[in-house]
Amino acid sequence: MVLAAALALPACIIPQTDNILVEPIPEALNRPPRILEDTLQPPGRFVTVRNGSGCPNLGFVATVADPDLADTLYYDFFVDADLNPGFVKQGVIGADGQVVRSEPATYDISFATANPLQQPGDHVVEVLVADAPLVGRTPQPPKPVRLPDGGTYQDASYAVSYAWTVTVVAGACP
């Protein structure tokens, strides 16, 4: 019995000389970007501010990550998108070879100048980040992926958003 096993086992270790994969491995599919919630400014979804002159600027900062290191990221900020569907700020975050991008999506509001948050009341500030250019709120399809058989595949593009509820109170800052 031991002799039979000793003769059969070496047969399993015979190196294989066949090349199974003749074609190159296809490109990886696109993966979605992320907004890193633990680094957001202001932290938390609910913010209360005063709108008087002399009040400090209100800054929104969203650090983003994308496992696809070559993707350029696009972002739009919206204020009260249900009433004003257009963006208030648009920007691009270039590919820098890092999963967590060194440049965040930012939007600063000065209460010394006219802005969408001048009116007292509740407002929604939203950042939308996509790995393809945005038209309205929709990311455009990325370039087609070439398949080993010569065909193409239309990969998906992704968008992710985060929203703050900002309560603006009339009055000067102390």
Q: What is the pLDDT of residue 99?
A: 96
Q: What is the pLDDT of residue 2?
A: 57
Assign residue 122 a region (left: φ > 0; alpha: ψ between -120 and 50; beta: otherwise): beta
2 exposed, middle or buried (CB, 10 Å; 0-12, 13-18, 19+)? exposed
Instruction: Provide the residue type at 129 as one letter.
Output: V
Q: What is the pLDDT of residue 152?
A: 83
Decide which of 3.40.50.2000, 3.30.460.10, 3.20.20.80, 2.60.40.10 is the CATH code for 29-136+153-169.
Answer: 2.60.40.10
Tens-place pLDDT, residues 67-103: 999 999 999 999 999 999 999 999 999 999 999 999 9
Q: What is the pLDDT of residue 9?
A: 57
Strand partners, 65: 34, 100
Per-block mean pLDDT, blocks of 10 residues, the chain (174 long): 56 62 69 96 95 90 95 96 93 94 96 89 97 92 76 88 96 84
Domain ranges of the chain: 29-136+153-169
Rounded CA-CA distance 11/8 in Å is 6
